[in-house]
Amino acid sequence: GIVIDPGHGGADGGASGNGIVEKNMTLDISNYMSNLAKDYNCNWFQSFYKTLLKDRLVYYQKLFTNFLL
């Protein structure tokens, strides 16, 4: 399956500049990719966890993830 992890969220907005906040951009891209995955009938999961990446990776392994984006 495919896991789409936008990364930043909540209080951690990531980088910002020129009126763009990283967490907003990565979420927009993540939503776009999720819609593509639906269109192609892919087995996918979009995460919104506020946990550390290392903890999310353990969870993704349990989902038998082939691709992490």
Find, among 58, 48, 36, 61, the residue nearest to 6 by Cα. Answer: 48
Q: Is this model's pTM higher than 0.95 or not?
A: no
Q: Tens digits of per-residue pLDDT, 44-57? A: 888 766 677 788 88
Residues of the chain with pLDDT under 70: 9-10, 48-50
* pLDDT the model gives residue 57: 83
Q: How many CA atoms, within 13 angstroms, populate the side-chain half-sphere of residue 51?
A: 9
* pLDDT the model gives residue 37: 87
* pLDDT the model gives residue 7: 77
Token pair, residue 49, equals 């966890």
